[in-house]
Amino acid sequence: MKARILLVDDNVEFLDSTRDVLESEGYEVVTANNGLDALHLSQRDPYDVVLMDIKMPRMNGVESFIKMKADRPRIRVILFTAYSLNELARKAEEEGAVAILNKPLDLKQLLNTVDLAIKQRSQDCILVVDDDIEFCDTLVDLLAGTGYRVAVVTAGTDAIARAGEEVFDVLLLDMKLPDLNGLETYRAVKQLQPNIITIIVSGFVDEMRELIFQCLNESAYTSLRKPLDMESLLGILKEIHDAKAEGRLVKSKMREV
């Protein structure tokens, strides 16, 4: 599938010429000429990268970026400006813009920056919460080797603290933990990160059945039984990634509980 780019600038000539360059590189490009229209487009459809001028009418690029990020925390935005670095640009850097490029654009630098942003966007970040160290080590080897970024914690309170510091795409959550149980952990993490997708895992299905069903009723994506079929797990993670990229993610059916 082609990467989708939202290109935003109030200069029509610049918009047309830059779109031509990006389309010649194989990207699918949608354009807007102000920050407000760009915000509406980003809310309606997902984009792999947003390229946006800072100084525009109706809503500037930084304000638009911040509002986009509130809806889609992992959105990748590259800003550009014909002006010297100013307070708006510094604010964008603090908010996590991928880069701020100077106009007139160096097209090679632009394409390299877009390519990097897309690669970063494609690397889903997974938070594994499980007190079985051997199991966690096996998961890290598998997932990191497949291109995912993985963080591991062994207790519910640690999961909540980590979720308060970093945005994750997927929560891989054991139900039986040494402090909080899986349901308590799920609710707290979900409150911090409403868009996180949760896969429940458990080696104690009969004992944890009520908690598992409650998590599923509260929109956990699916539940898997230990020992995990690793190929099935990778298939589910790909299913989640593809569905999110296409804007069609829905709760899955319960598996193996």
**Contacts of residue 66, Cβ cutoff 8 Å, sequence gap at least 6:** 91, 95
Domains of the chain (ranges; CATH) run: 4-122 (3.40.50.2300), 125-245 (3.40.50.2300)
Quick: pLDDT tens for 205-247. 999 999 999 999 999 999 999 999 999 999 999 888 777 766 6
**CA dist list (Å): 138 to 131, 164, 194, 243:** 13, 25, 28, 26
Say what the pLDDT of residue 75 is.
83
Say what the pLDDT of residue 254 is.
47
The least confident of 94-108, 115-129, 160-174 is 115-129
Query: With 80 as the cut, is the pLDDT of residue 83 above it?
Result: no
Say what the pLDDT of residue 253 is.
47
| Cα distance between residue 200 and residue 202, in whole Å | 7
Question: 250, exposed or middle or buried, with CB in 10 Å at 0-12, 13-18, 19+?
Answer: exposed
Quick: pLDDT tens for 152-183. 999 999 999 999 988 899 999 999 999 999 99
Q: Are 215 and 182 in contact (CB under 8 A)?
A: yes
Say what the pLDDT of residue 166 is.
85
Say what the pLDDT of residue 1 is.
52
Say what the pLDDT of residue 162 is.
94
